[in-house]
Amino acid sequence: MRTASKFSRPIAVVWLLLLSVFIVAGVPLASFHGDEAMQVWMSHDYATAFIYGEPQRLMSAGPFDVDTEAQLRILNGSINRYAIGLSWHLAGFTNGDLPTPPGWDWGLDYDTNADVGHRPTEALLNVSRLSSALFLAISAWAIFGIGWQLQGPLTAYVASGLYALNPIILLNGRRAMMEGSLLCFGLLAIFVAVTIARKRTQNQPVGWGWWLGLTLASGLAVTSKHSGVVFVAGAFGWILLAELIQRRWRDLPVMLVRLAVSGVLAVALFVALSPALWYDPAARVQDLLEVREQLIDIQVQAHTSGPMPLSQRIEYIITQPFLTPAQHFEVAAWTQYDPITQEVNRYMASPLSGLQFGPVLGLLLTLLIPVGMFAALRHAVARRAGLFVWLLITLAMLIVNPLPWQRYYLPLIPIVSLFVGLAVQLLVAAIVHRTEQPPTKEPLVTDNIQPQTDN
């Protein structure tokens, strides 16, 4: 036991470093997405705020017409734009190397966009992707930590492996888009919440540093992408539910105050890092919701035959994590463009594209999810029940989502990966327990023969 303890941490570090290298190594192979061009173009906000020192120029009060800088700023999180800008700044690029506005025009076909300079050069694109890939690598460390605290090392290894090798996670996290930072800070918020809940259930003190960590991770998650609120709500709900299960009624008011303060500070951080909201934040948030609703209506009309029916939304919740191949683009017309199909084929032919589950392994992993749910409720319920809060909040978001776009299902994948990790831990423990049981001794069988005596 002492030897296992001695080497467990170095082995974990090596494992996570290997996953990180695997994530970053596939960056140049990832197929291009038009939204990457928009994100790279909008990264000139980094230059405005940090190179020229004029963040006030990023403020806006509208109008928010389609594909204008004002609309793109209020619709999208800012962390990725700043990270991309820092990346190309350190690599020696300038504003003059960025794509022409608006980055990508979805009203034009691929060839026309490329001809007018909307697609970034390969060098700029790969540099711009690096920050998102590094964020994704950090998220693999975070889910490992979550799994370790939920059950132990086996759960941590299984969950982090399934997560970091999932083709859907890899493709979206390697692109110069918001998903890498969303998963990074969202899972860090969950990790901090799990730590706080564990410490509380074990009657250990929770230092102010953990509450600061919850505030920072939560604020950065929402600043990365507004759907990060799902992770934040899951994190706060996790802590609160753990308190309620333990019936710590006397401590509950103090806990509510701590959660409220952390929440308010997280919102303040979100606003501070979002200059588009600085001019009358309450009004801008209302604008954000209205512009988001308008964009969804446009996307549904332009790229689908209508909103997904409820049955299809439920089907996607079940099949997207392990039973559906990676979706490289949402616009069907992109199948006609040779540069894109060549990139997709090259990427999928590489082992760096991830673990292609296929129907058999994918079905097995899907069937293990309810087993993991059962395992989560067997013991240490106060520490694990928050996993179901996080799940229910995520499912609620997916149920109201009308678009059949795979990247919207990314927040579900770490949750089900953790459930599979718990299921594997449960099954392995059951097998070990069965094999370690001492064999039962069979009763001695004696013949009922009376000894003969001489008469």
Report how far residue 400's alpha carbon sits from residue 75's, in angstroms, rounded to the nearest whole number.
18
Best CA proximity match to 161, nearest among 181, 141, 131: 141
Report how far residue 241's alpha carbon sits from residue 228's, in angstroms, rounded to the nearest whole number.
20
| Sign of the CA dihedral with 177 first, then 178, 181, and 184 last | negative
Measured torsion, CA atoms of residues 220, 186, 239, 318, in degrees rounded to the nearest 10: 150
b/e string for 320-359 if b means 16 or more Cβ within 10 A? Answer: bbbbbebbbbbeeebeebeebeebbeebbeeebbbeebee
Query: Six-digit token pair at 73?
Result: 């700023």
The pLDDT of residue 6 is: 64
Query: Six-digit token pair at 304?
Result: 């689908």
- Taking CA 28 as the corner, what is the angle to CA 299 and CA 343, rounded to the nearest 5 degrees? 60
SS3 letters for 268-324? HHHHHCCHHHCCCHHHHHHHHHHHHHHHHHHHHHHHCCCCCCHHHHHHHHHHHHHHC
Burial (CB < 10 A; 0-12, 13-18, 19+), residue 314, is: middle
b/e string for 430-452 if b means 16 or more Cβ within 10 A? Answer: eeeeeeeeeeeeeeeeeeeeeee
Best CA proximity match to 411, nearest among 214, 223, 185, 212: 185
SS3 letters for 178-198? CHHHHHHHHHHHHHHHHHHHH
Q: Is 380 helix (H, G, I), strand (E, B) or coil?
A: coil
Backbone angles phi, psi at 212, to 5 degrees: -65, -40
How many CA atoms does the CB half-sphere of 381 hold within 13 Å?
7
b/e string for 144-159 if b means 16 or more Cβ within 10 A? Answer: bbbbbbbbebbbbbbb
Q: How far is CA 322 from CA 13, 66, 161, 368, in A?
A: 26, 35, 13, 11
pLDDT in tens, the chain (455 residues): 333 466 689 999 999 999 999 999 999 999 999 999 999 999 999 999 999 999 999 999 889 999 999 999 999 999 999 999 999 999 999 999 999 999 999 999 999 999 999 999 999 999 999 999 999 999 999 999 999 999 999 999 999 999 999 999 999 999 999 999 999 999 999 999 999 999 999 999 999 999 999 999 999 999 999 999 999 999 999 999 999 999 889 999 999 999 999 999 999 999 999 999 999 999 999 999 999 999 999 999 887 788 999 999 999 999 999 999 999 999 999 999 999 999 999 999 999 999 999 999 999 999 999 999 999 998 778 889 999 999 999 999 999 999 999 999 999 999 999 999 999 999 999 999 888 776 655 555 444 444 444 43
The pLDDT of residue 113 is: 97
Which residues, at least 6 apart from 70, have a Cβ–Cβ distance to it below 8 Å? Answer: 60, 62, 63, 64, 276
Best CA proximity match to 262, nearest among 202, 205, 209, 188: 209
The pLDDT of residue 425 is: 96
- Taking CA 33 as the corner, what is the angle to CA 32 and CA 38, rounded to the nearest 5 degrees? 120
Report how far residue 35's alpha carbon sits from residue 33's, in angstroms, rounded to the nearest whole number.
5
Report how far residue 189's alpha carbon sits from residue 229's, in angstroms, rounded to the nearest whole number.
11
Report how far residue 87's alpha carbon sits from residue 134's, in angstroms, rounded to the nearest whole number.
11
Element (H, E) at 13: helix 2-25
Q: Is 56 helix (H, G, I), strand (E, B) or coil?
A: helix
Query: Six-digit token pair at 184?
Result: 């990074």
Report how far residue 448's alpha carbon sits from residue 164's, in angstroms, rounded to the nearest whole number.
67
| Helix count and strand count (H, E) for the chain | 20, 0
Angle between helices 2-25 and 153-164 (to 10 degrees): 10
